[in-house]
Amino acid sequence: MNSYQHIIVGVDLSPESHQVIQRAVQIAKNHNAKLLLAHIIEPLAFAYGGDIPMDLTEVQQQLQAQAKTQLHKLAKQFDIAQTQCHLLIGQPAAELHQLATEHNAELIIVGSHGRRGFALILGSTANGVLHGAHCDVLAVRVKEQ
């Protein structure tokens, strides 16, 4: 098996993201690979199904600005260049697949809370990434902090 050259780590910016990034950094160092850090924001229209009769543009922009700040702060903590940070808008699994394709990534790393039962059946981001990826996917089991 060839070594990984391009790795994407998808984070949700929760406190558990540190665990996922730590594992990703370790793997990237072991393979001398380029590491991209990605966070995906679902549009508010997706979250509310367009049922709210108001303009959510300003709120969406504020969410994006806050996420960008948090993403860059995380990157700095792990010595990841801001140019390697990607803040995307859309459905998380689909955006990670697209980013992996664009950057010829051989590995996508995401966190998994290890949910069971209905939470697993209804799907998680890790599950969605796994089932549509054209490269390897590593789900890092995170411990809630």
**Spans of all domains in the chain:** 11-90
Q: Using 50, 70 and 90 to split pLDDT, how confident is the model at 145? A: low
Query: What is the dotted CATH code of the domain comprising 11-90?
Result: 3.40.50.620
Residue 17: name the closest of 119, 129, 110, 125 by CA. 110
> Which pTM does this prediction carry?
0.84
Bigger pLDDT: 20 vs 112: 20
The backbone torsions φ and ψ at residue 114, rounded to the nearest 5 degrees and listed phi first, read 70, 35
Is pLDDT at 6 greater than 60 in this prediction? Answer: yes
**Helix 125-132 crosses helix 92-102 at what angle (to 10 degrees)?**
40
Is pLDDT at 94 greater than 70 in this prediction? Answer: yes
State the chain's mean pLDDT as an integer. Answer: 86
Please enumerate in sequence order all residues whose Cβ is within 8 A of that of 93, keeping only pairs 6 or more positions apart, or say none: 125, 128, 129, 131, 132
Is pLDDT at 80 greater than 90 in this prediction? Answer: yes
Is pLDDT at 107 greater than 80 in this prediction? Answer: yes
Secondary structure of 17-67 as H, E, C letters: HHHHHHHHHHHHHHHCCEEEEEEEECCHHHHHCCCCCCCCHHHHHHHHHHH
- State pLDDT tens for residues 132-144: 889 999 989 888 7
Q: Using 50, 70 and 90 to split pLDDT, how confident is the model at 58? A: confident
59-to-44, 69, 101 alpha-carbon distances in Å: 9, 16, 30
Check if the beta carbon of residue 111 is closer than 8 Å to that of residue 17. Answer: yes
